[in-house]
Amino acid sequence: MLATSEETTTHSVSNSASLEMAEHPLKRWFDFILASIALVVSLPLWLIIGSAIKIEDGGPILFSQKRWGKDKKPISVYKFRTMVVDADKKFGSVQAQENDPRITRVGKLLRATSLDEMPQLLNIWRGEMSWVGPRALPINEVQIKEENGYLSDEAIPSFDLRCKVRPGLTGMAQVYAPRDVPRRHKFRYDLIYIQNQSMSLDLKLIALSFWITFRGRWENRGRKF
């Protein structure tokens, strides 16, 4: 079941941490081989997307951001830029919202299809990320739907547990959780994934992610598929 109480999920994971935190044996090899193929196959898309971003406003093509990696080690993640130049400096690191004025025209298409995440194939190839896992969260990004005002990532229950595995390009929370719910709700999905890691689950989530990309529904605030 996907719906479960935060206390039950956290307690269950804590009691079986040594077993459940281990990745399935083929995960790293699968990540490396698929990322290598994807990097080669997607090269024409990199050129097309890069040109479109440059033509629209002449700004940088890529955007770099520090995010939480495994064991809470910061990693540098690159994305195709979807917001106006220097958005973080001008507005701060604030979660994107519906009809966000910072997002460019090209950026709207990239975010709807999640093609802005394509440079993270390099993070997967290097072993910093996986194809499937908890989202690589921007470090202490200001959330727009928190119930108790601003809270640091580390103040959210279960944050330490979700950082015991490599973050993923896609994952259970990314696919199933409504986009604007508070982090603690999304973390429940992450813990369910950690408890049930398997090659078959990874393949299912990757397939669903491609379907959502094909339909351009990653920015949908409700059900994505």
Q: Using one digit for the tens of pLDDT, what is the confidence trace for 40-87? A: 999 999 999 999 999 999 999 999 999 999 999 999 999 999 999 988
pLDDT band at 180 (very low <50, low <70, confident <90, very high): confident
**Does pLDDT of 24 surpass 80?**
yes
At CA 168, angle to CA 217 and CA 85, rounded to 5? 65
Residue pLDDT, tens place only, 88-119: 777 777 777 777 889 999 999 999 999 999 99
Q: What is the pLDDT of residue 215?
A: 95
How far apart are alpha carbons 135 and 190 in whole angstroms?
8
Containing 81, the helix (H) or strand (E) segment is none
Is residue 11's pLDDT more than 60?
Answer: no
State the pLDDT at residue 20: 52
Is residue 79 helix, strand or coil? strand
Neighbours of 29 (CB within 10 A): 9
pLDDT at 13 over 60: no
143 pLDDT more than 80: no
To which H or E segment does residue 155 belong? none
Q: Name the band, by pLDDT with cuts 50, 70 and 90, for residue 7.
A: very low
Residue 9 vs residue 47, higher pLDDT: 47
pTM of the model: 0.85
Q: What is the β-pairing status of strands 130-132 and 168-170?
A: parallel
Quick one: pLDDT at residue 1? 43
